[in-house]
Each structure stands twice: as C-alpha cells, then as structure tokens.
Amino acid sequence: MTLEGKSVAVLIAPRGTEEPEFSKPKQAIEEAGGKVTVVSFEAGVARTVNSDLDEGDSYTIDKTFSDVKADDFDGLVVPGGTVGADKLRGSAEAIDFIRAFFDQKKPVAAICHAPWTLIEAGVLKGRTLTSYPTLKVDIENAGATWTDEEVVVDNGLVTSRDPDDLPAFCAKLVEQIAEGAGAGPAAAN
C-alpha cells in the first residue's frame, strides 16, 4: 500500500506519549510514502516516554492544535501512553481536532490508552474497538463494544491494545488511510 500524496497528523503529548506507539506508526506512514505532521499543544520539541516512566526520544513538533484543522489531513494517529492520553483528553483543542476527523469521515487510529480521547470526543457509541484492557468499562460506558483483539477496524477506526500489537496496528492504519476518506469513521452522535 502506498500513501504517496497523503498527509497524516500524529499527535504527541510531551513527557506522556508512549515512544513506540508514536515512533512506529510515524515510521510506517513515512515508509509507505505518506507525509507526517507531528501535532501538539505548543511549538518546540517533545520527549516521549517508555512504559509511562522512562524518558524516550525527542521529536520536533511541526504544528500546534491552533495551527491545524482536520481538513489539512487524510488521517489521524493518536498514540497511547497513560499520561499522554490523559493530557490529550484534557485539552478542548485536541478533542475538537480529533472529533473533526470523525465528522469528516476520515480514518483515525488509536492505540492503548488513546481511546480515552475518543470517549471524551463522544464518538464511540455503537462502535466495536479494543484498547488497553483497563479501558474496557470506560469504553462500554461510552456505548461501544470492547473486544480483546490484536487490532480492530470499525468503519475506518483502527484500534489496538498495546505496543505488542504495533505490527498489526501499523499495517491496518496504513491500509485505512490508503483507502481514503470514504473508509473513515462516521460520527456517532
């Protein structure tokens, strides 16, 4: 699958986003020929984490939430990390940005704790997805069905449980973005 000509936003929350859940999808998109824009709260450099506690690598933030809109992209990746997902779901700008991808029926990929942001955005009702197991009740309370699978695709929404699932997660997110906006998730109101 090629992502030539496709632009994908990958979110990062400084000192909170899980390193492999950020770097592996970014790498998969770039290797498929897509353009990645790293989006965060403020300009500069953000450091990821490993296992929520240990310092990861540093990445340049390309744009802030106030600089971008979903119209600019063909897809969105929301990496996990307990702290990172919590920081993102606490930001109205981040949640509005995420929700706009659903409103525009564009592919969204969320791994591990990232579905917390989808709960906050109010876009899970009637969907089937997976996540880190401790989010099961949160997801069910949001009106979705939780399943314990390596990767789940529900109308353009790609979800996985944890870093062990990254190969399947990356393959499916590239596939969904390559298929285009028609494959994207429908907004659930």
Active site residues: 112-113
Say if CB 100 and CB 72 are below 8 A apart: no
As beta bridge partners, residue 7 has: 35
Q: How far is CA 96 from CA 18, 48, 161, 176, in A?
A: 22, 23, 24, 22
**3-class secondary-structure state, position 129:** strand
Structure tokens belonging to residue 155: 């109308």
Q: Which residue has the tokens 């695709």?
A: 153
